[in-house]
Amino acid sequence: MSDDTQQTNFKLIADDEWRQRLSPEEYYVLRQAGTEPPGTGEYEHTTTEGVYSCRACGAEIFRSTEKFASNCGWPSFHSPAGNDAVIERRDTSHGMVRVEVLCANCESHLGHVFEGEGYPTPTDLRYCINSLSMKLEPAQAEN
């Protein structure tokens, strides 16, 4: 986590500052709970080892070791980077009942989590996450 991430209380940032920090597409997903179109995200098929951080604040949210190919149109993970990396809350928007996933550090929208879909993962969960909500920091190669 960068020094900026540790020193800034991202939960207090005003909406106009978020608009300055983020591109219009990032703002739509992260601050307005939007969804990027399926199959368009840069990380959907990525197999690069590394850490996925929140694009809004830089906090670590997922790791490549928990990523799996669900072929659902968005990057999928079976668990977050740690017990306190994300917040899950009930989402009843669009006439559905789902569980929204937010960054615990800045409360930006990341995507949704689904349970019981039968994927062969250790948790039986699929964190369906927008690529626009993350940045991948590739693992450093060992010498």
pLDDT by residue, tens only, the chain of 143 residues = 444 445 577 777 888 999 999 999 999 999 999 999 999 999 999 999 999 999 999 999 999 999 999 999 999 999 999 989 999 999 998 898 999 999 999 999 999 999 999 999 999 999 999 999 999 999 986 65
Which residues are designated catalytic? 128
Q: How many domains does the chain have?
A: 1
Model pLDDT, residue 130: 98
The verdict on residue 143 lying in a domain is: no
Model pLDDT, residue 5: 46
Instruction: Find the angle CA(123)-CA(129)-CA(135) to the nearest 5 degrees.
Output: 115
What's the sign of the alpha-carbon dihedral 6, 139, 128, 126? negative
Range of the domain at 111: 3-138
pTM of the model: 0.89
Residue 98 is part of a domain; what is its CATH number? 2.170.150.20
Model pLDDT, residue 94: 85
